[in-house]
Structures are given as structure tokens and as C-alpha cells.
Chains A and B, each alone.
Chain A
């Protein structure tokens, strides 16, 4: 998992594709929940619970999953960076 990909040594970029994906994962819940009109309704209900409530509780799970993805991505990249910089030292 933590093998460093072959890449040229030297200064490493601040913005990388991995970080962009992690950023999107972290930002998505803000867009979803601040957009109140997208979920401020009673129908469809789920087991009797209005949409407004179960949808937001569903977002607890989605958001936790997205944060976990961001966590794994960031950690993987950090290890790759460390491996590139420090060789086998850890």
C-alpha cells in the first residue's frame, strides 16, 4: 500500500489529484446540508419518518464515509511522500 511510486525527486507539489479528491469529499457535506430547500419537505417518508429527518440522518453516514475516504487518501499520500523523502527510514 505504501510503496512509493516512481517519481522525480525534488520539491513536491502542494496541490495533487489525491488532495483535490480529498478536498471534494470534505466539502460535499457543506453543499448538501446548506442547500436546505433540497430537503425541506415531508414526503417521501421512510417508515413514517418525514424526508427532512431521515435524509439528514442519512447524511451523517454519507459524511462519515466521505471523511474516512479523505483520511485514507491523505494518509496514503503522506506515507508515499515520507517514503520518497526518507527512503526506508520510518
Chain B
């Protein structure tokens, strides 16, 4: 496959890469604040972004390079089962419509930077807040690593990854360079860097998907042909399992898996620290609500993107590593220069989320471990400094992960990360609506969910792996195959409710709640003059 370097594609790729690098460093001066040495500035872009910037930032954050590679790769490998990403991203928006504005309001009011900040303030429990913070960091690390896997796959297909016998340093040099640059501008510009780069990333992505969804089917003789060929190919027997490889519409036995994966993933998405970081950088409550109505545009794009998996089958793309299917399809179908554009879209698509994720993980460490447990009287300057350093460490950690370990380790960890992060849902979303839950019951529910999820995922075998072979297992008591994360979540919720009833009856101390009911619906203070909108958007109709 790697027969030589694709020079034209590489040149285009490098051009865009250089462009976003310059933008990344310049971002430090974009919408510059008076006091840049605070975590609000570095880690949340001054909480000043309007609807469109937030839209690009959230879109760039949630729809990562790994998504672009892995979702169609799953469709390529299994057919319908991989398409669950579409209902998943449909369900996310009505869900967050109900709770995210409340989180925004209370965080704005009390200066919370992370979800753990909120949990500590709401329940007066440092241990619960630590649990949420550690879960967030653990779940984010492999996610960053997978962004690297995304860049690696395009570098491989362009022929700059080197063959198996290349010296490891030469082989990984492009990746090291890309990541070094990313680390440097994240360090200097904070959240402003990915916010600015997200414009380039998403513009490229939309162009590439639109072109791919029209151009490739025409070249392949239309969707009738594509699905006919894909149906035949998926119907063929997989020698490893003795069953068909996949299907065009899920059969009866796969319905539970499909639905539970969609709901479980939707519940988990906004528990991830990087989603919250992008949310809290919004300027007002309205910005968040409005975004839930325009973000589905990304889901539409994801749907089209998933169909590329079928196109790859129909085009006869054969790869050992499924992750290479889509980059390979682009290289086969597009002229070289456009292949370069497509690969740049994927490569930059990795940088934006990787930057936000490392900022989010760094904020969690600084606020909920460093400040709560190591240095309680840290000044805002010290907080910012620690966050910047940790953002570097997190990236180095992810790099070591990808280079030092088998790639499947990162994918396994990411799978676990999704299951784990879902276990913080009761504390966070529960806490946003009610103070009824007891902090110790929440902690117990979290612990049980974490242990159950990990053990269950460990026990899943696949033809190629003995453990962590997938994210679905039999749901105890129901007997259907379902998403482990959702089963663990149900268990977690039951323990939390039962535990709360017992602890309340025993009059266990409930902790001090520093928030008040009106904090959850408060908007930005009116005293603060509305900043001049830097992106075209309608003036908030509420101001009159």
C-alpha cells in the first residue's frame, strides 16, 4: 500500500498544517484579555465566545479525527452496527438542551472551571469531586492518544509513515513534529488556539465530506451499486467467526445493542471534560441553548461520512488495518491535490480536540487535585502555570502511549474510558437538578459502576482479542446483548438511590451546598456590558 510518497498530497497537507500552526501561535493575541494569567483566560478563553465560535469549537471538539476514521471504519467492517454513531449524536442534543444551560449558569455564577468544581461545590465533598476528576483524566488520556492514531493513519497512507523496517525515530518523526507544534501553541495560547483553528478544520471537513458524498458515488455508479456490492461483501462468511461479516440493516438480535450503544454514548458525551470546557467558554446561557439547535448539522455530516464505509467496500478497498480504509479510499478516488486537502482535514481534525482535551485534563488536575489536595492557597497565576505544564505532560503521556504500546491498547482504553465517564453522570446531572442524592451514595454508585464496567469489558472476547474485544455484553436479568456502559450506569443509579434512602434515614451528614436554586437559571450579570460580537450573529433578542 505504501508504495512511495504521495508528493502532491503531502505538499498540500504541509501547507495547511503550516497555516494552522501560525494561527495557533497568533491566537494568543486574538480577543486578548486584560488579565491573561488566570485559568478563566487560558483554560476557558475568557468565557467570552459567542454562538458561532462555540459552534465551531464544540463541533471541532466532539467530531474528532478519530471519529472520522473510526466511524466509517466500523461501517466498513460490520455494516449497520457501525451506524449507531448517528442516532447517538441525534440524541445528544435534546439531552444536553435540558441540563447544559443549568451547568453553564451555576459555573458562571461560582467561577467553576471543571465539572468536579461543581460537584465539590454542590455536595461539599472533596472525595466525590476527586473521583469525578480522576475519571475525567483517565477517560481523556486514551482519547488524546487516539487523535494521534488518526494522524498516523493519514501519514501512513501518504507514505511518510515508513515501512515496518524503518528506524522507529524516522518513522515517528512526522508525528513527533506535529505534536510538538501542537503542544507549543496550546501552551502559549490556551483555548484560543483550538477555537481559532477549528474554523479551518471544520471548513475543510465540510468541503471534503460534501465532495466525497457526491463525487465518489458518481464514480462508483450510484448508491444502488454501492449498496448491492456492500451487501454481497458483508454477507460473505467471516472465517474467524463462521458468521456473516455484517449486514445492511441490523437483525433482531442486534437491536438492543444498537439502541443501548446509542443512548449510552449520548449520555456519556457531555460528561467528558473537553465537552464541558468548550461549553463553559460560551458567553451566555443562550449561546449554549442555541447551539443545541445548530450542532445537528455535524450529525448530518457524520451520517454521510459513515456511508463512506460502504463506498470503501464497493470500491474494493482492502486493508489489514480497518482504520486505513477511509484514508485509502480518498487516495484511490480523489486527485492527489484533493487527497491532500482531505488528509489535512483529518490531521487538523486531530489537533483541535487534542488541544482541548489536554486543556480540559490539565484544568481538572489543577483545580481538583493540585488546588484541593496539594496547594489550597494557590494564586490564579500559579493555577494557570500548573495547568499549562500539565497540558504538556498529558500530551507527552498520550504520545508515549501511542508509540510505546500496541495501538489496540489505546482503543481498549478508549472503550473503557467511555464506560467510566458515564459513571459520573448521576453526580453531575443529578446534582444539577436535585440535592436529594447523598454524596456517599453517589460515591458508592460510581465505584460499583466503575468496577462492574471494567470487569465486564475485560470479559468480552473477540476473534482477535481475548479481552476488551468489544463494548457490549449480556445484560444481567434481561438476557439481551447491550452496551456495558449503560448497564453499569443503571447499576450505579440503583446503588445511588438505595444508598441515599439509607444514608438519609441514618442522618449521615449531607455536606454543605454552596449553590442556591436561582444560580441554576442565572444568566451573565447584566452589569457586564455585552462584548462586541466578533462573529456575525443576531443580537440576543433578550436584550432590549
A residues contacting B by CB (< 8 A) are 25-27, 29-30, 33-34, 36-37, 40-42, 45, 47-53, 56-57, 59-61, 63-64, 66-68, 70-71, 74-75, 79, 90
Cα(A19)–Cα(B98), bound, Å: 11
**CB of B289 within 8 Å of the partner chain:** yes
CB neighbours of A53 from chain B (8 A)? 83, 303, 306-307
**CB of B239 within 8 Å of the partner chain:** no
Please tell me if the beta carbons of A48 and B227 are within 8 angstroms of each other in the complex.
yes
Kindly provide the distance from the CB of A53 to the nearest chain B CB, expressed in whole angstroms.
7
Interface residues of B in 291-336 (CB under 8 A from A): 292-294, 296-297, 299-300, 303-304, 306-307
Please tell me if the beta carbons of B83 and A79 are within 8 angstroms of each other in the complex.
no
* Residue ID in chain A nearest B294 by CB atoms: A64
**CB of B250 within 8 Å of the partner chain:** yes
Please tell me if the beta carbons of A64 and B86 are within 8 angstroms of each other in the complex.
no
Please tell me if the beta carbons of B83 and A37 are within 8 angstroms of each other in the complex.
no
* Residue ID in chain B nearest A62 by CB atoms: B90
Interface residues of B in 329-388 (CB under 8 A from A): none
Cα(A53)–Cα(B248), bound, Å: 9
Please tell me if the beta carbons of A60 and B303 are within 8 angstroms of each other in the complex.
yes
CB neighbours of A49 from chain B (8 A)? 223, 227, 307
Cα(A51)–Cα(B248), bound, Å: 10
**CB of B71 within 8 Å of the partner chain:** no
Please tell me if the beta carbons of B97 and A50 are within 8 angstroms of each other in the complex.
no
Instruction: Choose one: A25, A33, A51; the contact of B87 (CB below 8 Å).
Output: A33
Please tell me if the beta carbons of A63 and B296 are within 8 angstroms of each other in the complex.
yes
CB neighbours of A37 from chain B (8 A)? 252, 255
Q: List 24 A-B contacts (CB under 8 A).
A: A26-B94, A29-B91, A29-B94, A30-B91, A30-B94, A33-B87, A34-B263, A36-B255, A36-B259, A42-B248, A45-B224, A48-B224, A49-B223, A50-B249, A52-B80, A52-B83, A52-B250, A56-B87, A60-B90, A60-B303, A63-B93, A63-B94, A70-B97, A74-B289
CB neighbours of A51 from chain B (8 A)? 249
**CB of B31 within 8 Å of the partner chain:** no
CB neighbours of A57 from chain B (8 A)? 86, 300, 303-304
**CB of B441 within 8 Å of the partner chain:** no
**CB of B27 within 8 Å of the partner chain:** no
Please tell me if the beta carbons of B86 and A60 are within 8 angstroms of each other in the complex.
yes
CB neighbours of A64 from chain B (8 A)? 93, 293-294, 296-297
CB neighbours of B83 from chain A (8 A)? 52-53, 56
Please tell me if the beta carbons of A36 and B90 are within 8 angstroms of each other in the complex.
no
**CB of B32 within 8 Å of the partner chain:** no
Kindly provide the distance from the CB of A29 to the nearest chain B CB, expressed in whole angstroms.
6
Please tell me if the beta carbons of B224 and A71 are within 8 angstroms of each other in the complex.
no
Instruction: Choose one: A27, A40, A45, A63; the contact of B90 (CB below 8 Å).
Output: A63
Please tell me if the beta carbons of A67 and B249 are within 8 angstroms of each other in the complex.
no
CB neighbours of B87 from chain A (8 A)? 33, 56, 59
Please tell me if the beta carbons of B258 and A36 are within 8 angstroms of each other in the complex.
yes
Task: Please judge, given known A-B contacts A30-B91, A47-B223, whether A56 and B86 are in contact too, CB under 8 Å.
Answer: yes
Cα(A90)–Cα(B304), bound, Å: 44
Kindly provide the distance from the CB of A1 to the nearest chain B CB, expressed in whole angstroms.
8
Cα(A56)–Cα(B286), bound, Å: 28
Which DSSP category, helix, strand, loop or mixed, fits chain B's interface? helix
B residues contacting A by CB (< 8 A) are 80, 83, 86-87, 90-91, 93-95, 97-98, 222-227, 231, 248-252, 255, 258-259, 262-263, 286, 289-290, 292-294, 296-297, 299-300, 303-304, 306-307, 541-544
Please tell me if the beta carbons of A67 and B93 are within 8 angstroms of each other in the complex.
yes
Kindly provide the distance from the CB of A41 to the nearest chain B CB, expressed in whole angstroms.
5
Cα(A26)–Cα(B101), bound, Å: 15
Most buried by B among A49, A51, A60: A60
Most buried by A among B250, B251, B286, B304: B250
* Residue ID in chain A nearest B290 by CB atoms: A71
CB neighbours of A34 from chain B (8 A)? 259, 262-263
Q: A45-B223, A61-B296, A66-B94 are in contact. List 8 more A-B contacts (CB 8 A).
A: A40-B251, A45-B224, A47-B223, A52-B248, A53-B83, A56-B303, A67-B93, A71-B293
CB neighbours of B263 from chain A (8 A)? 30, 34
* Residue ID in chain A nearest B289 by CB atoms: A71
Instruction: Choose one: B86, B249, B290; the contact of A41 (CB below 8 Å).
Output: B249
The 7 closest A-B CB pairs, nearest first, are A48-B223, A48-B224, A64-B296, A26-B94, A36-B255, A33-B87, A52-B249
* Residue ID in chain A nearest B224 by CB atoms: A48
Kindly provide the distance from the CB of A28 to the nearest chain B CB, expressed in whole angstroms.
8
Cα(A45)–Cα(B231), bound, Å: 14
* Residue ID in chain A nearest B75 by CB atoms: A53
Please tell me if the beta carbons of B544 and A56 are within 8 angstroms of each other in the complex.
no
Cα(A37)–Cα(B263), bound, Å: 16
CB neighbours of B231 from chain A (8 A)? 42
Cα(A63)–Cα(B95), bound, Å: 11
Please tell me if the beta carbons of B248 and A50 are within 8 angstroms of each other in the complex.
yes
Kindly provide the distance from the CB of B351 to the nearest chain A CB, expressed in whole angstroms.
26
Cα(A68)–Cα(B95), bound, Å: 13
CB neighbours of B227 from chain A (8 A)? 45, 48-50
